[in-house]
Amino acid sequence: MVEHEAQCPPGWVGDWLTEAGCELDVRRPYRGDLLPADLTQHHSMVVLGGSMDAYSDAAHPWLTSVKSLICGAVEDSTPTLGVCLGLQLITVALGGEVHRNPNGQQIGVLPVGWLPAARDDTLFSSLTQLRAAVQWNSDVVRDLPGTAVVLAETPRGEVQAAAFAAQTWGVQWHPEVGEEIIARWADSDRDEVLRRGLDVDGYVADVAAAHAELQAWRRLTIGFAGLSRETAEPTWHG
């Protein structure tokens, strides 16, 4: 699991993977952790979110290594899940494009717009009754790589979830966060959010009110853990 900054921790996803019996190997390259050269000693990879963009390799050099690991995971069919920035890094690594959302920042407990392809997807087919998720992002996918399939999108056509390969997925929303993490984001980004006329405290309250609904994304994590175990030896590393 790749964590890009302290304010974007594994959160609920880490807790749910642990509950599923997974042994987590969380790498924090911003603190000096080295990323593995490949995933031969791991059975899956989760790439978390972060405030940097998917092209910030010069300022955050480990992003180049993450993109390399993503390409290797696709080649080896290693289960991989990208979250927010993670989705965007998968997109760029595989030849797609990401840009600043011309419609502005997406922030809130927003509806998930499932597409028919999700009903046939290995990971998402049992999740299409889940209708809301936390989003907090400024960048979105502009062009997916040619092999990718959109699984969910906003009413304006912004990608919310995609399948990139047989064992590689990404979501633009944040299944890992609840009100505690969102409250920290709101505090750190308060001036900018208020400048755009958004109700920061109302957003935190909305996330708290949707706590039980958001916890249902545990099923996504458990499903991913199950796919990972199919490729694993008795000792599993996430």
Q: Which is nearest to 61 in space by CA: 87, 32, 41, 84?
A: 32
Tell me which amino acid residue 22 is. Answer: C
Specify whether the CB–CB gap between 162 and 169 falls below 8 A. yes
Please state, in angstroms and rounded to a whole number, the distance separating the CA atoms of residues 134 and 108.
6
Which H or E element spans position 170?
strand 168-171
Specify the length of the chain in residues.
238
Give helix 85-93 / helix 62-76 axis angle, nearest 10°: 70
State pLDDT tens for residues 77-136.
999 999 999 999 999 999 999 999 999 889 889 999 999 999 999 999 999 999 999 999
Specify whether the CB–CB gap between 1 and 35 falls below 8 A. no
pTM assigned to the model: 0.94
pLDDT along the chain (238 residues), means of 10: 97 97 96 97 96 97 98 97 98 98 91 98 97 96 96 97 97 97 85 68 90 97 92 47
Specify whether the CB–CB gap between 50 and 136 falls below 8 A. no
Rounded to the nearest integer, the mean pLDDT of the chain is 93
> Which pLDDT score is estimated for 197?
64
Residue ranges of domains in the chain, CATH in brackets: 11-230 (3.40.50.880)
